[in-house]
Structure formats: C-alpha cells, structure tokens
C-alpha cells in the first residue's frame, strides 16, 4: 500500500522530536511546529503498515470479545490484592494506589512510586488486570521498556506478548463503548 492510501491526523505541538502514535487505533503524527510530515511517513512506512495490519487483526478479534461488569468495590478489591501479590513476587512496594480515568494508558507509575490505575480497567478480564499491575510494578525495578524489563516480565508471565495484543483489542472495544 502507498502512504497516500493511509488516513492520519497531524498535531503540531511545542516538542523537540516528531513521533508517531496509534493509541486510538488511528495514526497520529505529533510534530514540532514547522516540521514537514512527508519524510516522517516515508522513513517509517514499514513500521506504519505493520501497525495498520496489526490493528486490522485486532479489530477482527474484537468482534468476539465482551466487556466485564464489576462494581467499583469488586474492581478495587482485585486491584489491591493484585498489587499485594505483585509486591511479594517482585519484592517491591508502591507508595499508594489511585484510580482515575486516563485517555491513553491503562495505568502509570510515578517517580514517587504511586500507581495510578485507569478506571476503565474494570471492564477487563481478570487476567489482564493482574497483568497490567505486574507490568507497572516491574517498572519499580526497571523504568524503561528495554530488554531487561521484558526479560523480567517474561520470567513471571510467559504469555505477555499475547496479553499485550489482547490489551490493545480491549482498548479499542472500551474506547468505542465509552465514547
């Protein structure tokens, strides 16, 4: 496919380096003011089409998935017990656990070791909630998504690659459901 067949949006921001995002399933080019987008599309053409195909697969798989219904209390109980389990397993501790709706992430870990959980995670299957928490808490040991990080995750979660894909599928479903 040619790049002119690709639909994308451009957002100019006060940033130093351009980047490509597929957080909503649609390609977004985030560019510094005055930056030309054509070279960026050309340079990353292979990666872009790889992602487009991956998203297409995920959309097909999303058709058979359902959202899980839980009360806030049930969801928080799952999160707190998962944090406790991951703390023991990794021999780490978070300072606090917070819940809020987030637009682009399932969860995040601050430099002060606070874990923030996206409220929409309550719609995920149990194994994915546990996975997100394990993933975030692994960042207490290794901050970046480098080989060491993925190696530590692989030791504790042999199916992490499948789960990353499943997370993306649910991201698409939930965003369609809540918007």
CA-nearest of 70, 79, 85 to 98 is 79
Cα–Cα distance measured from residue 10 to residue 37, given in angstroms and rounded to the nearest whole number: 8
Give the pLDDT band of residue 153 (cuts 50, 70, 90): very high
DSSP three-state, residue 47: helix
pLDDT at residue 25 in the model = 66
Domain ranges of the chain: 3-62, 72-178
Cα–Cα distance measured from residue 157 to residue 25, given in angstroms and rounded to the nearest whole number: 26
Helix, strand, coil abundance in the chain, percent, nearest 5: 50, 15, 30
Name the pTM for this structure. 0.76
Q: Count other C-beta atoms under 10 Å from residue 101's C-beta.
A: 8
pLDDT at residue 177 in the model = 64
Tell me: domain 72-178, CATH 3.10.310.40, correct?
A: no
Q: Is the pLDDT of residue 55 over 90?
A: no
Cα–Cα distance measured from residue 10 to residue 111, given in angstroms and rounded to the nearest whole number: 30
58-100 tens-digit pLDDT: 778 788 788 999 999 999 999 999 999 999 999 999 999 999 9
| Average pLDDT of span 120-134 | 96
Cα–Cα distance measured from residue 65 to residue 47, given in angstroms and rounded to the nearest whole number: 27
């Amino acid at each position: 496919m040619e790049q002119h067949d690709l639909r994308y949006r451009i957002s100019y921001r006060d940033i130093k380096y351009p980047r490509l995002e597929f957080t909503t399933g649609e390609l977004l080019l985030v560019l510094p003011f005055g930056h030309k987008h054509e070279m960026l599309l050309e340079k990353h053409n292979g990666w872009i089409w790889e992602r487009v195909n991956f998203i297409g697969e995920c959309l097909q798989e999303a058709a058979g998935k359902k959202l899980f219904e839980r009360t806030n209390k049930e969801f928080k109980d799952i999160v707190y017990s998962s944090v406790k389990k991951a703390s023991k397993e990794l021999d780490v501790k978070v300072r606090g656990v917070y819940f809020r709706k987030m637009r682009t992430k399932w969860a995040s870990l601050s430099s002060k070791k606070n874990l923030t959980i996206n409220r929409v995670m309550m719609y995920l299957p149990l194994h994915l909630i546990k996975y997100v928490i394990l993933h975030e808490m692994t960042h207490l040991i290794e901050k970046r998504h480098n080989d060491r990080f993925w190696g530590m995750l692989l030791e504790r979660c042999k199916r992490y690659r499948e789960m990353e894909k499943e997370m993306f599928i649910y991201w698409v479903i939930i965003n369609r459901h809540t918007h």
